[in-house]
């Protein structure tokens, strides 16, 4: 059995790799930082291939697919965020974020899903966020990308169900996690971050049990429930007040 994980050099992706390695999976680890990928590889006892590529360049998504075939699990984890008011944030950075969080995920999801459907077997885990359920002032583009991931996954799930496919898709929707995400996005949240090791293990366990919505932690489950009930204008106000510039 083999799993491909993007964004595998740190955080949730790294911890999912460690856990899948313990479960006996061979791994394909993808990220931009080769040095960090190799550090992850050193701690895993199964067969591990690493690819240090930038998936925000769509051509690299196709190159990765051409090089890596016959996987059993695809985990689309790569992504980043950006803090700031929409009229002030850097457009080039937002385009890079959309390319990575949306275009790369969409591309890999489609390419590997076709293979999974053909053999009628395989699992996909798309990493979204609790942000996908709500508006996100001060991180508008990031929240919008995660909403895309969530809605795309929901639609694919229904299509697979209608076709009676044995292919499984899941979507991971964590809240803040103690990773390098906050530093990259330059944001700090009022809600305490969860441990990435816990989130990674929880996600894999639920994925292997064909759970679709994977929401780690009681507080985050409650927040999801609140997002269903509270009007968007109030939710937007709550989100605005829950995050501040880190520096």
Q: Which sequence positions are flagged as catalytic? A: 142
Which residue is associated with the tokens 């937002």?
94
Dist CA 172 CA 1 (whole Å): 21
Burial of 218 (C-beta count, 10 Å sphere; 0-12/13-18/19+):
exposed
Q: Which two tokens stand for residue 28?
A: 């394909």
Look up residue 177 and give its DSSP letter. Answer: B
Burial of 229 (C-beta count, 10 Å sphere; 0-12/13-18/19+):
exposed
- 3-state SS, one letter per residue, for 64-108: HHHHCCCCCEEEECCCCCCCCCCCCCCHHHHHHHHHHHHHHHHHH
Go through 100-116 and write b for each residue having 16 or more CB atoms within 10 A of its CB, e for each that does not.
bbbbbbbbbbeebbebb
């Amino acid at each position: 059995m083999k799993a491909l994980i993007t964004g595998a050099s740190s955080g949730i992706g790294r911890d999912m790799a460690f856990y899948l390695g313990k479960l006996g999976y061979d791994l394909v680890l993808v990220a931009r930082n080769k040095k960090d990928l190799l550090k992850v590889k050193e701690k895993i006892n199964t067969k591990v291939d690493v690819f240090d590529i930038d998936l925000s360049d769509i051509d690299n998504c196709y190159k990765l697919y051409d090089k890596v075939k016959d996987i059993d699990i695809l985990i689309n984890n790569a992504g980043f965020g950006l803090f700031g008011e929409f009229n002030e944030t850097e457009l080039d950075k937002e385009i890079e974020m959309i390319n990575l969080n949306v275009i790369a995920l969409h591309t890999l999801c489609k390419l590997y899903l076709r293979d999974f459907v053909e053999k009628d077997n395989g699992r996909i885990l798309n990493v979204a966020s609790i942000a996908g359920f709500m508006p996100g002032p001060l991180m508008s583009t990031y929240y919008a990308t995660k909403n895309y991931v969530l809605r795309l996954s929901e639609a694919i799930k229904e299509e697979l169900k209608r076709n009676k496919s044995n292919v499984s898709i899941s979507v991971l929707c964590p809240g803040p996690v103690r990773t390098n995400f906050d530093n990259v996005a330059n944001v700090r949240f009022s809600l305490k971050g969860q441990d990435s090791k816990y989130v990674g293990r929880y996600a894999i366990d639920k994925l292997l049990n064909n759970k679709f919505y994977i929401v780690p932690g009681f507080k985050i489950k409650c927040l999801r429930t609140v997002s269903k009930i509270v009007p968007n204008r109030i939710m937007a106000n709550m989100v605005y007040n829950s995050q501040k510039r880190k520096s």
